[in-house]
Amino acid sequence: MTEILRIEGLQKRFGGLVATDNVSLDVHTGEIHALIGPNGAGKSTLINQLCGELRQDAGMIHLAGRDISHMAAPDRVDLGLGRTFQMTCLLEDFTVRENVGLAVQARDGGNFRVFDRIMGRASVWEETDHLLQGSLLSERPDDIVADLSHGEKKQLELIMALATQPRLLLLDEPMAGLGHVESQQMIETLKALRGELSILLVEHDMDAVFALADRISVLVYGQIIMTGTADQVRGDPRVREAYLGTEDA
C-alpha cells in the first residue's frame, strides 16, 4: 500500500489555542479519505497547512515521498497537490469553457488574467473540451457562469481543480449549500474519480462521507481520535460522544 500523503505530528497554534494538535495521518494512493469532526475541530486549519497557506508550528508533510513541509503553496500545486478553486475565483461574466480554459492555462504556467493569449492555443482548448466532456456541464460550455446554479458552480470548481492534474485533491466541503439532487450528482461525480487520483475530503454531510470514503479520520479538538472504515467510525463510542448534541451526527 503506497501513500500519496503522510502527515506527522502537525501542529498549529493560534495564541493559546491549539487548532491542530500533533496530527498524524496518511492518505493511500487512489483512496478517498474523509476528514470529519465537529465545528471548530481544526479541519480547515489542517487543509490550509497542507496547501501551504498556513505555516505549521511543528510537524512534517510528505507528498508522494517528498518533504513539502516548508514549500511555498504554488510549488505544492506543481508537485500535484490540488484544491478546488473557491467560487469567488470563478469569472462570473465569462463562459464555463473560458473558465476551464484559464485553469488549464494557469497550470501550464500561463497568466490567469491575460486571456487573449489562450484564444489561439489549440492544445488548451482541446484539454478544456476533454475535461468538460463527460462532466455535468458538457452540454453547457458556452453558458455564462453567472447563470449557473449553485450546484453547477460547485461542479465547475471541481472541473477547474482537475485541470491542475492533481495527484491528491483536497476538497473542503464540496456538498456545502447543495440540495438533495445536487448532492447526489456531486457524490456520483466524485465516485467516478475514485482510483484516478487520491482525495482528502473534508465534509459535514455524513451521507456523502459514508457513500464515498474508503477510510475516515475523525478530528476532535485538533486531535485525530480514530481512523477507520465507515462501519468502524459509525460504531465507535468516541465518535458518537464527540458529536453528541451537535446536528452533524
Ligand X SMILES: Nc1ncnc2c1ncn2[C@@H]1O[C@H](COP(=O)(O)OP(=O)(O)OP(=O)(O)O)[C@@H](O)[C@H]1O
- 166 near ligand X, rule: CB under 6 A: no
Q: Name which of 86 and 139 has its Cβ closer to ligand X.
A: 86
Size of interface with ligand X, in residues (CB under 6 A): 11
Q: How far is CA 131 from CA 7, 83, 99, 126, in A?
A: 31, 16, 12, 9
* Cell numbers found for residue 44: 480547515
Of positions 4, 5, 19, 102, contacts ligand X by CB under 6 A: 19
- 39 near ligand X, rule: CB under 6 A: yes
Q: Name which of 37 and 174 has its Cβ closer to ligand X.
A: 37
Of positions 40, 177, 195, 235, contacts ligand X by CB under 6 A: 40
Rounded CA separation 10/33 (Å): 18
Rounded CA separation 221/131 (Å): 39
- 42 near ligand X, rule: CB under 6 A: yes
Q: What angle do CA 209, 214, 218 make, to 5 degrees?
A: 60
Of positions 5, 45, 158, 160, contacts ligand X by CB under 6 A: 45
Are 190 and 32 in contact, with CB atoms under 8 Å apart?
Answer: yes
Of positions 2, 9, 17, 66, contacts ligand X by CB under 6 A: 17
Are 42 and 35 in contact, with CB atoms under 8 Å apart?
Answer: no
By residue count, the chain amounts to 249
Of positions 22, 24, 29, 44, contacts ligand X by CB under 6 A: 44
- 37 near ligand X, rule: CB under 6 A: yes
Contacts with ligand X, residue ranges (CB under 6 A):
14, 17, 19, 37, 39-45
